[in-house]
Amino acid sequence: MVEAFVGTWKMTSSENFDEYMKAIGVGFATRQMGNMAKPNLLFSIDDGVISMKSQSTFKTTEAKFKLNEEFDEMTADDRKTKTLMTFENGKLVQKQTWDGKTTTLERELQDGKLIAKCVMDDVVALRTYEKEV
């Protein structure tokens, strides 16, 4: 269940994120900041509403949502997306749609780590987080 994601997660590795940011249309300067940022992810649940906060020295963003209900999201790179969060096969799946484009971010727990898989067309980035105790 989604409750397993609750807590604070610290990024420990990031692979191919620059290529992913290019694929979704992020400009050079913002990509440089995005590549340097090592965000913490904070998940909480309050009365069925899930909060997913990304905190870094570059920017802090927060999305509050209910599963299976589309919402408007302002991303860290200032895209205005229609976003749908679902929970499928143990994965928290985030589907963002904007300007005729779609990207998917899948988050799952493996061996006590949170693995975020960011997919845009044929570009895949992996970001790994460890839970803070």
pLDDT digits (tens, 9 = 90+) for 16-46: 999 999 999 999 999 999 899 899 999 999 9
**H or E stretch including 49?**
strand 49-55
In this predicted model, what pLDDT tens digit does every residue of 75-102 receive, in sequence order?
989 999 999 999 999 999 999 999 999 9
∠ at Cα 76 (14, 5), nearest 5°?
Answer: 60
Q: How far apart are CA 32 and CA 46, in angstroms?
A: 34
CATH of 2-131, one of 3.30.420.40, 3.30.70.360, 2.40.128.20, 3.30.110.30: 2.40.128.20
Domain boundaries in the chain? 2-131
| pLDDT for 58 beyond 90 | no
Q: How far apart are CA 118 and CA 125, in angstroms?
A: 5
